[in-house]
Structure 1
Amino acid sequence: MNGTCHSSELTWPYWVKNVVDAYVGLLLALGLLLNGLALWVFCCRVRRWTETHIYVANLAVADLCLLCAPPFFLYSLEQRTEDTLFCQLSQGVYLTNRYTSISLVTAIAGDRYVALRHPLRAPALRSPRQAVAVCAALWAPVTGSLALRRALGVRAGGFCFLSVSRQGSNTTAFSLLGFYLPLAVLLFCSLRVVAALGQGPAAHADQAEATRRATRMVWANLVVFVACFLPLHVVLAVRVAASRSAPTPALCYALYVTSKLSDANCCLDAICYYFMAKEFQEEASALASMPTAKAHRSRDSFSVTPA
């Protein structure tokens, strides 16, 4: 493979190609439907935006960015060209989705942690305006770095999917840091939130059910994050460790497969963050039943306070 992992040079059995095509098509269809519905509900049906709404709406936008990438990089693969505008755009929106999604998931976990573990300080640390500022701070470095790379005309190491393993060591190190640091924060916040939710008996049955639902949501979010992103970054870490030698075919296949696996977050985020939320369920039910009265506005799913 001449020291690179060209996606176009990977050979697969015919049935595997069909499975991959079906997988990508399913992600595209479900991702557009679920994330589009989520944004419509949040923008058109939710009147009072909370911190959670702001973070989740930004997460939906980041996931939609992933769904914009396939047409561009499929065109680039077909043309077998590198560093074209199509290829750079596809790689740009792909990376924007991946690491902005990781950052936003971490921000949501941190917001939950502050709300439950530091309730007295939460009013000063949490507000919709601060959530907007955090989201802007998370989007800025990702989009800014991509724009800067384009403006400077950086070509060293390759930028597109056709030369995944030619990315420079600095780029790979940034990718690893952009995952493992948020992973540590997410683990800490999630475990502390679960511990807080489990402290003391519930005052009544409704609170007990809300606590169980919130606990399941935290665990589901953590499992989805680890399942989607950890395999890819383990493979990237192996690639860095073996950077002095040409990548083996097994490593190239592993990079491709784990990269496809990470794409599933665009659909799983929708299930875990939108449809498990009580408020979104009520809004979606109201839309499905076409009520004449306005849907009752419930409190945020994580308004449960530990006893």
Structure 2
Amino acid sequence: MDSHNASSSGGNTSYPSVNCSYNMTAWNEGMYGLYTYFYLIIFIPGLLGNSVALWVLCRFIRKKTKAIIFMINLAVADLAHVLSLPLRIYYYSTHTWPFGKGLCLFCFYLKYLNMYASIAFLVCISLQRCIFLMHPFCAKSWKRRYDVRISVVVWIVVGLCCSPFILMRTNSDSAKTSGCFKDLPTRKLGLGTAITIMTFGELLGFVTPLTIIGFSSYFIIRSLQESVRAGHSVNDKKRALRMVLVCTGVFLFCFAPYHINFLLYMMVSQDLITQCTVKQVILQFHPISLCVASVNCCLNPLIYYFLTTEFQQQLSRQGSSVLRGRLMSLESTSSYKE
């Protein structure tokens, strides 16, 4: 969550109840700067990377197997979040939001939709590569429409599961405040509700996906070792292992900090953690973990390029065509002048 739970004095920003005597105003201004510069840094790479990836994946890869459908959905999720970044940058740089509460909540929702859709599709990619490697006949009989149906289910489930992030920010104070994102007021949760959300979010959003990706890596490594001992070709298995390991790396780097801190953050919000220094560290690490989670929209295109042979070939082919067209245009212009 982008903000904290109990209202602080002197502003719209809300925080978990903190009795510590450190400067919350200075810290709040620092968060505005952190979000502004960080989103500026990732906007261009995220926009270009995912736009090119989506263009290549949708237009030039006709054989949509080997998790290509899941990669397309992953690129869509990333691009949706990236396109909302200019509004976030505007708010954090000007401290004003003139675009209405509906658009504010929608952009707020997109951040978490992107995070958990990315997690879900990384799991789908890893699991499918593992299953197809272990059961080649299953890969041959697999239909593209199956991936499409799975993707639709993923979007519906993730969309519904992320809806509490909006519901928790639509209380009676929401219409009174002119703030957005981290400055949106938050509903006060009971202890039972907080524990339920915390458990549900951590198990389904982090522990279960990490377990699935971990087992996928283990089975591929074991299959690779058996093939090496038997003297069989291992190129496909090496590529599959590389794909799953990179998915694991992106997952851990981007989402582990947020989910570890989210657990502690909810404990602070419910006053289960009372030590002042610990509270301060958890609260100050929260925006950093959210920024790190947003890096996934820049890292995911690397999965498509470095780990998908078809993507490399099509991108190189199209790049060469564009370059040849440009050179021919220059030659024609030169000849005309002569």
TM-score, reference length from structure 2: 0.72
Residue 34, structure 1, aligned to residue 49, structure 2: yes
- How far 1:166 sits from its partner (Å)? 5.6
Distance across 1 between alignment mates of 2:119 and 2:298: 14
- How far 1:146 sits from its partner (Å)? 5.7
| Alignment counterpart, residue 261 of structure 1, candidates 279, 288, 292 | 292
Residue 187, structure 1, aligned to residue 219, structure 2: no
| Alignment counterpart, residue 198 of structure 1, candidates 225, 228, 233 | 225
- Check the 8 A contact 1:217/1:276 in 2, yes or no: yes
Q: 1:244 to 1:27 in 2, by over 3 A?
A: same
SS of the residue 1:24 aligns to: helix
Give unmatched runs, 5+ long, in structure 2.
16-23, 175-179, 274-278, 324-338
Amino acid at match of 1:38: A
Distance across 1 between alignment mates of 2:72 and 2:48: 14
Q: 1:136 to 1:274 in 2, by over 3 A?
A: farther
Give unmatched runs, 5+ long, in structure 1.
293-307
- Check the 8 A contact 1:2/1:246 in 2, yes or no: no
| Alpha-carbon displacement from aligned partner over 1:201-240 (angstroms, at most 9, x marks no partner) | 39999x5555444433322221111011001100011123
Count of equivalent residues: 290
Distance across 2 between alignment mates of 1:58 and 1:197: 29
SS of the residue 2:85 aligns to: helix
| Two-structure CA RMSD over aligned residues (Å) | 3.9
- Check the 8 A contact 1:7/1:163 in 2, yes or no: yes
Q: 1:152 to 1:264 in 2, by over 3 A?
A: closer
Amino acid at match of 2:124: A
| Aligned pairs for 1:110-149 within 5 A | 110-123=127-140, 126-144=142-160
| Alignment counterpart, residue 242 of structure 2, candidates 198, 212, 216 | 216
- Check the 8 A contact 1:100/1:138 in 2, yes or no: yes
Amino acid at match of 1:256: P
**Corresponding residue of 1:44:** 59
Residue 251, structure 1, aligned to residue 282, structure 2: yes
- How far 1:196 sits from its partner (Å)? 1.8
**Corresponding residue of 1:297:** none
TM-score, reference length from structure 1: 0.78
Deviates more, 1:11-20 or 1:105-114: 11-20
Q: 1:26 to 1:289 in 2, by over 3 A?
A: same
- Check the 8 A contact 1:52/1:108 in 2, yes or no: yes
**Corresponding residue of 1:272:** 303
**Which of the two has higher C-alpha Rg?**
2
SS of the residue 1:201 aligns to: helix
Task: Give percent identity, aligned residues only.
Answer: 26
Residue 11, structure 1, aligned to residue 26, structure 2: yes
| Alpha-carbon displacement from aligned partner over 1:26-57 (angstroms, at most 9, x marks no partner) | 21101111110011011211222225110100
**Corresponding residue of 2:19:** none
Q: 1:287 to 1:204 in 2, by over 3 A?
A: farther
SS of the residue 2:228 aligns to: coil
| Alignment counterpart, residue 101 of structure 2, candidates 81, 84, 100 | 84
- Check the 8 A contact 1:35/1:64 in 2, yes or no: yes
Residue 238, structure 1, aligned to residue 264, structure 2: yes
Distance across 1 between alignment mates of 2:269 and 2:29: 31
**Corresponding residue of 2:87:** 72
Distance across 1 between alignment mates of 2:188 and 2:167: 18
- Check the 8 A contact 2:220/2:237 in 1, yes or no: no
Deviates more, 1:40-49 or 1:57-66: 40-49
SS of the residue 2:6 aligns to: coil
